[in-house]
């Protein structure tokens, strides 16, 4: 009987202590407060911002490519071209895999001949092939051949963490036809049904395929098109699902 009473007392004491637990010590609250402090103090410091941009230039740019689509008629005359951006998500011994926007590689009429060229960070050009495309996701994959150790091209890392609302992000694209243009913005909100991100990024036709990275220099989104001078961005979950990672 004494043992039973002792167990009851211990349980009651545990429940009492749990009920008196300081809500500020909750791990979720602590993590949120740390993140708020990071946004308000650390990331706003000039030193942090300079280091972030320097790291983005050194680590991210070598993994970003410009994609040029050329459409010719039956006479071999160029009737249209499109340009945009993509990033290298996988490296093999003699070839690279690139993720970009579906908008850049849409199917054309059989009367036209379509070719793709990829330009790396050093402006070297390569012929490319479309591996697959998905209108539903707004994404496509391409392949081009080169030797990674010689080209010094980097594979970019895709984040495991979905960005939070009001998180600062960086978009790298050919915005305003400027190669590897960097634009800072904020993630205003996320549409969970469509996995589209609403941001403050300006955009134009050359922003399509633009890479969106977080402060850890990891991919969190891709600009799949633009609407009323604003970027339409597909979110991280769709990217990971499309690439099966």
Write the CA distances from 61 to 33, 54, 117, 206, integer angstroms: 32, 10, 18, 17
The pair of structure tokens assigned to 145 is: 């051949």
| pLDDT 10s digits, 135-156 | 999 999 999 998 766 667 889 9
- Of 154, 158, 106, 94, nearest to 130 by C-alpha is 106
Tell me what the mean pLDDT of segment 183-201 comes to. 93
The pair of structure tokens assigned to 102 is: 């579906």
Same topology for domains 56-60+159-242 and 62-151, yes or no?
Answer: yes
CA–CA separation, 66 vs 77, rounded Å?
A: 22
Q: Residue 16 has what pLDDT?
A: 45
DSSP one-letter code for 107: -
Q: Residue 140 has what pLDDT?
A: 97
- What b/e readout covers 44-75, taking b as 16+ CB neighbours within 10 angstroms? eeeeeeeebeeebeeebbbbbbbbbbbbeeee
At residue 108, does pLDDT exceed 90? no
| pLDDT 10s digits, 219-242 | 999 999 998 889 999 999 999 999
Tell me what the mean pLDDT of segment 119-132 comes to. 94
- Of 82, 86, 85, 87, nearest to 69 by C-alpha is 82
Instruction: Indicate the fold that domain 62-151 takes in CATH.
Output: Thrombin, subunit H (2.40.10)
Extents of the domains making up the chain: 56-60+159-242, 62-151
Q: Residue 3 has what pLDDT?
A: 43
How many other CB atoms are there within 10 angstroms of residue 117's CB atom? Answer: 17
Q: Which CATH architecture has domain 56-60+159-242?
A: Beta Barrel (2.40)
At residue 44, does pLDDT exceed 80? no
pTM for the whole thing? 0.80
């Amino acid at each position: 009987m004494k043992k039973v009473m002792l167990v009851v007392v211990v349980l009651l004491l545990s429940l009492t202590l749990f009920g008196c637990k300081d809500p500020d010590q909750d791990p979720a609250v602590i993590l949120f407060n740390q993140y708020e402090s990071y946004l308000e103090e650390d990331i706003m410091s000039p030193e942090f911002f300079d280091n972030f941009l320097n790291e983005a230039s050194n680590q991210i740019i070598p993994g970003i490519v410009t994609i040029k689509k050329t459409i010719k008629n039956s006479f071999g005359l160029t009737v249209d071209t499109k340009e945009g951006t993509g990033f290298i998500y996988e490296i093999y011994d003699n070839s690279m895999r690139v993720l970009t926007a579906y908008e850049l590689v849409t199917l054309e009429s059989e009367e036209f001949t379509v070719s793709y060229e990829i330009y790396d960070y050093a402006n070297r050009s390569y012929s490319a092939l479309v591996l697959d495309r998905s209108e539903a996701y707004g994404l496509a994959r391409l392949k081009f051949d080169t030797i990674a150790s010689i080209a010094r091209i980097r594979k970019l890392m895709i984040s495991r963490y979905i960005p939070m609302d009001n998180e600062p992000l960086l978009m790298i694209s050919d915005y305003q036809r400027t190669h590897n243009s960097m634009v800072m913005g904020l993630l205003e909100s996320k549409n969970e049904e469509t996995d589209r991100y609403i941001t403050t990024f300006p955009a134009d036709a050359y922003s399509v395929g633009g890479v969106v990275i977080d402060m850890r220099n990891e991919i969190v989104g891709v600009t799949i098109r633009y609407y009323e001078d604003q970027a339409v961005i597909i979110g991280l979950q769709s990217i990971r699902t499309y690439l099966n990672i």
